[in-house]
Structure 1
Amino acid sequence: MSGLINQAKAQLWEIVNELSYAKCGNDKPNLEIALYEYGNDRISSESGFIRKVLHFSTDLDEISERLFSLTTNGGSEYCGKVIQTSINELEWGKNKGDLKMIFIAGNEPFTQGNVFYKDAITNAKENDVVVNTIFCGDYRTGVSGMWQDGATHGNGDYMTINHNKKIVHVVTPYDDEIIILNKRLNKTYVYYGNKGASKFASQYTQDMNAETLDEVVVVKRAVSKSSRLYNNKNWDLVDAEKEADFNYNKIKKTQLPKELQGKSTSEIKKYVKSKSEERAKIQKEIKELDKKRRVFVTKKQQEKTNKDELNSVMINAIKKQAKKKSYTW
């Protein structure tokens, strides 16, 4: 299953980018992602070999960090148990307009464990949560293993992927320029707070993690960083000051970058304003290049098939189910 994790690492930013284009009427929805691992013998058997890796989060760097921390050590996959656990532990909210989805992937029979999968999925549906299943293997084996039945019962989609397939990324003439802009974009972040410096460092680390996979993954991540979904108001002054309740008087200057620690509040505001303007300009350039890049990629993808890759099946399922909630692209 390490191939599945590698696909998730490689395709995270492409999925985020596609979701950033979604609308619901005049509103642009936010994105929250939670992450569980299961079927890993290193996890306690008392928990059903299940571990919550991340609660619902809008922090895309943290999501990337947690994905890169995952390893596999094959074991029993208690699908019903992990679905039930996620329903019990996560705060799913009560808004009827929210699109709430579970994507569960594996390669063992869906029926394993002492929690009957249909009972768990019934509880999910009572919380307006759609359950989608992704079997890592051939279609018929997944059907006989009840993965299709799980999706049918969960009002979701049954999908199969080749989790060992090497992802072939489409290189475009615009990639190098986007990578350069990404480096400039990083310099517009102004950290604050007790976690600011570490979060700023993590941003760079996730850039490097993306680079270990492929330069094109860096490009996709840069596009995500230019989207509205990449918001770091909890540690970045440029994003934070846009919030109505933000107050410069509450920040500790000792937790700012060294070049700002001796500055007055008005000087800090002026500095942040200049960084905000610089960021907006860079993000605009990235978005314009990405439009050209997407046209190029679309033409190239017509020449090959990626129907058995994680991002392809997930995006198709999300768009199909989002239409029922009046989401458009």
Structure 2
Amino acid sequence: MSFSRLFRTAALSLSLALVPWVAIAEEEPTIQLAILLDSSNSMDGLIDQTRSQIWNVVNALTDVRKDGQVPQFEVALYHYGNDSLPSYEGFNRQLTDFTPELDNVSEKLFEIQTNGGQEYSGWVIKSAVNQLNWDEDEADFRAIFIAGNEPFDQGKVGWQEAIALARSEDIIVNTIYCGSAENRERALWAEGAEIASGANFNINQNRQVIVQESPYDEDIRALNDQLNSTYIPYGAEGTRGLNRQIQQDVNAGAAIVTRGSSKGSAYYRNASWDLVDALEEEAVDLETLSDDELPLALQGLTLEEKEGYISEVEAEREEIKAQIRDFTSKREGYIRNLPVNDDRTDTLDYAMIQSLREQLARKGFVLE
């Protein structure tokens, strides 16, 4: 459970204890995706696809609702099959627990260095099921996406054991085989997904990622820069979070357009370091923050003046986000009307988006 959700749960419990008749609002629905990436020598293309296409996945889900609510969207990240990781850990490593702060995920993706190793699919699936902070509400959506190109049955943790564990926790497992569709090794990848109520895809991990250009891209880039200026760093993580945001814009390269679109959505949250998001999620109390924890623009102001300043920044942010969403809609409409000259159904984002749309619907999530 995220820090913000823990905070809200504690606050609601206190309210119930003090005022038993108070109506308690329903907790927002949650989508949790754990992405497990083979980072052995041959997987540079897979890592590159994930770095840029994660934003396509986010954008494809921005209109998802459940019971009229915008879900909490959280991503966790592992890499495996890498000799730089300890053998006693199954050559796999958790890079992030579930987080709604997508810049953290992007940062970790760009830190992955591929290296030859032993790809133990069963072990990393078991690690993800046991180690991650999965939500316990049965109505929420929980899924694993594991991508790799080696036999699915390597390592001392059998894939059957790992899949059975995931099923027992109502966690869907989707498998993405990065190799020839006719390869016999793919059969176990497909069988694992079928048993775990997931989907199996075959992708070309070396397919070069091309971001389709549109007449609206410059507008989105400019608005993205304006959006960054509305973030108010606070506390120990403030400066680091702001620097991370800027660095991930740089890392995105041509994908800054799709990343910019994601930043205009409700899924882009930064409550651990941005004061606007933190106050909206009730993760902090403005009245108790010392001047040392605030940026210079807020130091020395009265509480009322601080609240006024933050409200103005929040309003500006919402206006910029609305403009980003408008240009994103126009961009998507433009791209849909272009002639299809190339088949892009063999990349990571296509695999994830197609499976998520069907699986979310099974859980009662609606793509509006």
TM-score by structure 1 length?
A: 0.95
Aligned partner of 2:18 in structure 1 is none
- Quick check: 1:143–1:149 contact (8 Å CA) kept in 2? no
Separation in 1 of the partners of 2:326 and 2:219?
Answer: 11
Residue 59 of structure 1 corresponds to 101
What is the match of residue 191 of structure 2?
Answer: 149
**Contact 2:101/2:268 (CA < 8 Å) preserved in 1?**
yes
1:82 paired with 2:124, answer yes
Q: What is the alpha-carbon distance in structure 1 between the residues aligned to residue 144 and residue 339 of structure 2? A: 27
1:176 & 1:239 partners in 2: Cα distance? 26
Kept in 1, the 8 Å contact 2:271–2:283? The answer is no
User: 2: CA distance between counterparts of 1:98 and 1:138?
Assistant: 34
User: Which residue number in structure 1 is paired with residue 40 of structure 2?
Assistant: none
Aligned to 1:270: 308
Task: Deviation per CA, 1:157-188: give whole Å up to 9, x if none.
Answer: 11011001101211000000110111111111
1:17 aligns with 2:59: yes
1:313 aligned residue: 351
C-alpha distance in 2 between matches for 1:263 and 1:77: 56
Q: Which residue of 2 aligns with 1:297?
A: 335
Q: CA RMSD in A?
A: 1.4
2:5 maps to 1:5: no
Q: Of 309, 318, 321, which residue of structure 2 is paired with 1:280?
A: 318
The letter for the 2-side match of 1:288 is D
Instruction: Mark the runs of 5 or more structure 1 residues left unpaired by the alignment.
Output: none
Inter-partner Cα distance in structure 2 for 1:135 and 1:243: 39
C-alpha distance after superposition, 1:57-98 (max 9, x if no partner): 111110110111111102111011111111111122221111
- Equivalences for residues 200-215 of structure 1 within 5 A: 200-211=242-253, 214=254
Amino acid at match of 1:90: L
Shift of 1:143: 4.8
Q: Distance in 1 between matches of 2:48 and 2:65?
A: 29
How has the CA–CA distance of structure 1 residues 254 and 245 changed in structure 2, closer, same or farther, with 3 Å as cutoff?
Answer: closer
Identify unmatched segments of 5+ residues in structure 2: 1-42
What letter corresponds to residue 218 of structure 1 in structure 2?
I
Moved more, 22-31 or 55-64: 22-31
SS of alignment partner, residue 138 of structure 2 = coil
1:215-268 CA-partner distances (Å, limit 9, x unpaired): xx1111111111111112222122222234642121121122223223332222
1:104 and 1:142, CA in 2 relative to 1: closer, same or farther beyond 3 A? farther
Q: Please tell me whether the aligned partners of residues 81 and 92 of structure 2 are also in contact (alpha carbons under 8 angstroms).
A: yes
1:165 aligned to 166, 187, 207, which one? 207
2:123, 2:156 within 8 Å by CA — same for their partners in 1? Answer: yes
| 1:197 aligned onto 2:217 | no
Letter in 2 for 1:192: Y
Contact 2:150/2:185 (<8 A) preserved: no
Match of 1:253 in 2: 291
CA contact (8 A) 2:152 2:185 kept: no
**1:183 alignment counterpart:** 225
Q: Hey, what's the Cα distance between the residues in 2 that align with 1:94 and 1:195?
A: 28
- Aligned partners of 1:92 and 1:127 also within 8 Å: no
The runs of at least 4 aligned residues of structure 1 exceeding 4 Å deviation read 142-145
The alignment of Structure 1 onto Structure 2 pairs a total of residues equal to: 325
1:323 paired with 2:361, answer yes
Q: Deviations over 1:188-232 (max 9, x none)?
A: 111111111111111111111112xx1xx1111111111111112
State the TM-score, normalizing by the size of structure 2.
0.85
Q: What SS does the aligned partner of 1:32 have?
A: strand
* Cα distance change on mapping 1:174 and 1:321 into 2, 3 Å: same
Q: 1:145: how far off?
A: 5.3
Partner of 2:180: 138
Q: Which amino acid aligns with 1:26?
A: G
